[in-house]
Structure 1
């Protein structure tokens, strides 16, 4: 995945195990040792699991806006779907990891 979209850096990234991630988890009273989800922060509000993916799609726009449709699903349905995809992500996407450039590294928070 290209970290740059449309010529603009739209996102910053942080590991949940790092300082920023741990502070975020504590601030929002979220588990500090469970790293099985994705969080997205926008306008001081945080989203998790499929809601995060939906909000990311909405923010990116274009073909990614399709993921915004996930907001139509209640959490009782969307969370198991997210968990199923997360558990099988290596089968879906493969084992490869992307190597980031020094320029992309600037988008990561500690």
Structure 2
């Protein structure tokens, strides 16, 4: 059942790790709280720019919720918490680590994501059954 006011997750559509994160969200977001936008698409680029992130050199995940932008581990924690059930536990544990430390690790992984996890030659295409969850 679709959620009335879905939040938007802007992700790197050519990053293998980011695509796995999208698969995770799609698998566990049973209430359809989240819509997805690749940062290479028009919606994703516009949202990145509107929240002070470079659409040409994105190094952060962006969660747009109720008009506010959340990045890095803050975005991850908020997504996990809203998935509910077991996923609230890692969200709480994440918050026990000081944000400067967890965001520094996140940014290191983000800067090296292609080398560590790989890069697709083209943007991730949604499965036809889940295409309604994607903005571009």
Instruction: Give the TM-score taking structure 1 as reference length.
Output: 0.75
**Alignment correspondent of 2:132:** 106
The Cα shift of 1:90 comes to 7.8
Q: How many residues end up aligned between the 2 structures?
A: 108
Moved over 4 A (4+): 88-91, 97-100
CA distance in 1, matches of 2:126, 2:46: 24
Q: Is the 8 A contact 1:4 1:10 kept in 2?
A: no
CA positional deviation for 1:106: 1.4
Aligned to 2:101: 77
Q: Which runs of 5+ in 2 are unaligned?
A: 1-22
TM alignment of 1:1-110, pairs within 5 A: 1=23, 3-5=26-28, 7-69=30-92, 70-86=94-110, 87=112, 100-110=126-136
CA separation in 2, counterparts of 1:58 and 1:44? 18
Q: Aligned-pair RMSD on alpha carbons?
A: 2.7
Higher relative contact order (CA 8 A, sep 6+): 2
Q: How far off its partner does 1:30 sit?
A: 1.5
| SS of structure 1 residue aligned to 2:54 | coil
